[in-house]
Amino acid sequence: MPVLEILTHPDPRLREIARPVEVFDAALQQLIDDMFETMRHAVGVGLAAPQVGVSKRLVVIDIGRKDGEEWHPDPQVFINPTIVEADGELPWKEGCLSVPGVRAEVVRCARVVLSYLDRQGAPQRLEAGGLFAVCIQHELDHLDGTLYVDRLPPLEQKLTLQDYERSRAESAAQSPPP
Ligand code: GNR
Ligand code: NI
DSSP state string for 148-166: GGGGS-HHHHHHHHHHHHH
Asked whether 47 lines ligand 1 (CB < 6 A), one says yes
Percent of the chain topping pLDDT 90 = 95
Q: What is the pLDDT of residue 173?
A: 87
What is the homologous superfamily of the domain 12-173 according to CATH?
Peptide deformylase (3.90.45.10)
Ranges under pLDDT 70 in the chain: none
Distance from residue 48's CA to the centre of ligand 2 (Å): 7
* Consecutive H or E run containing 71: strand 70-72
Planar angle of CA 119, 124, 129, nearest 5 degrees: 105
Phi, psi values for residue 117, rounded to 5°: -105, 145
Give the other-Cβ count within 10 Å of 139's Cβ: 22
Q: What is the pLDDT of residue 171?
A: 86
Q: What is the pLDDT of residue 174?
A: 84
Q: What is the value of pTM for the model shown?
A: 0.97
Q: What is the pLDDT of residue 43?
A: 97
